[in-house]
Amino acid sequence: MNYKHYLLLHFIIIIWGFTGVIGKELAYSGMDSIPIVIIRMLIGWSTLLIYMLCTGKSFYIDKKGLVQTIGTGFVIAAHWFAFFKSIELSNVSIALIFLSTTALFTSFVEPVMSKKKIDYSEILTGMLVVIGIGVIINDLPIANNKQFLWAILLALSSAFFAAIFSVTNSILVKKYNSITISIYELIGGFIGISLVAIFSGDYVVDDFMISPYQFLLLFTLGSICTSFAFLIGVYIMKFIPAYTVNLSVNMEPIYAIILALIFFGESEIMGLNFYLGSCIVIGTIIINAFFKKYKRIRIAKLPQNKKAS
């Protein structure tokens, strides 16, 4: 076992967790969610473009793949908008905990999109996650602060969109190069969210005039937290099983909450019920991942005729 790859994996997960911290700092600086997503995607696909030109990677993708990747980019843009808006209306802890339900949504989205059988054991998992969410909500001052309710709904929407593009990418990556997929998705998302900004009439050129500090945060978000993290994530998959990677990614909310406490202090401190509910949600998702692995091992050991039946 080469521990440097596992350390690198958790370093990347910490970078992903840092996304929420940057998003909150940008909100504090006065930036709205849509300009954040537009500039992040612009920097993301620009840096990937430079990487592809320097390494001689092919840009080719057929017409069907182009339509699918650009369409998926729209979903990614919606996911990021909902995520950053949730942070803007609440805090990093709330947004990340509800975003961690992505694995739950994936369990229901995947059978529909991939035409697989529904795993009814995941209904129980879903019920436990709902209980955890109920415990968390009970700890939040929703009656006195309606923004918290909107933040929860947006974070759950972000998780749902994340489930859709994760399943879509798992299908696309079997046919197309992962880096090619990413650059067209980022371009598609950039075009989609830009059109929303233009036709909404809510934004003017001044909304995209950023300070040097905001540019530094956005460049970090678009290059390190997006392009770099993606490329290293693909590299790690060569050395670490996909199951281990997916299981480890469930640590992202925990890392993000710790980082948020370090950077924002008291504004991120929640009540006991919040942390109890968070443990139920994250613990259930991790336990479910272990059960899935056990089930795959058990099926793999069955005779071929029993698998077919």
Structural domain spans, the chain: 3-308
pLDDT tens track for 26-59:
999 999 999 999 999 999 999 999 989 998 888 8
- So what's the pLDDT on residue 299? 60
Given a contact cutoff of 8 angstroms between Cβ atoms, the answer to whether 180 and 70 are in contact is no
Structure tokens at 257: 């909450």
* Residue 255 to residue 18: CA distance in whole angstroms: 8
Structure tokens at 284: 């259930």
* Residue 259 to residue 17: CA distance in whole angstroms: 8
Q: Is 273 exposed, middle or buried, given 0-12, 13-18 or 19+ CB atoms closer than 10 A?
A: middle
Structure tokens at 153: 């709904």
- So what's the pLDDT on residue 73? 94
* Residue 309 to residue 305: CA distance in whole angstroms: 6
* Per-residue exposure over 219-236, b if at least 16 CB sit within 10 Å of its own CB, e if not: ebbbbbbbbbbbbbbeeb
- So what's the pLDDT on residue 308? 44
Q: Tell me the HSE value of 147 on the side-chain side, using a 13 A CA sphere.
A: 8
**Number of neighbours of residue 277 by Cβ within 10 angstroms:** 24
- So what's the pLDDT on residue 216? 95
**Does 243 score more than 60 pLDDT?**
no
Q: Which residues contact residue 203 at a Cβ distance below 8 angstroms, ignoring those fewer than 6 apart?
A: 32, 34, 35, 197
**103: closest CA among 203, 220, 250?**
250
pLDDT tens track for 250-309:
778 888 888 888 888 877 778 888 888 888 887 877 777 677 666 666 666 666 555 544
**48: closest CA among 210, 234, 193?**
234
* Residue 275 to residue 210: CA distance in whole angstroms: 36
**276: closest CA among 131, 62, 174, 103?**
131
Compute the average pLDDT of residues 204-231: 89
Q: What percent of the chain has pLDDT over 70?
A: 87
**Does 240 score more than 70 pLDDT?**
yes
* Residue 250 to residue 248: CA distance in whole angstroms: 5
pLDDT tens track for 80-122:
999 999 999 988 888 888 887 887 787 778 778 777 776 666 6
* Residue 252 to residue 137: CA distance in whole angstroms: 20
34 Cα distance to chain centroid: 17
* Residue 156 to residue 147: CA distance in whole angstroms: 14
* Residue 4 to residue 18: CA distance in whole angstroms: 21
Q: What percent of the chain has pLDDT over 90?
A: 34
- So what's the pLDDT on residue 301? 63
- So what's the pLDDT on residue 66? 94
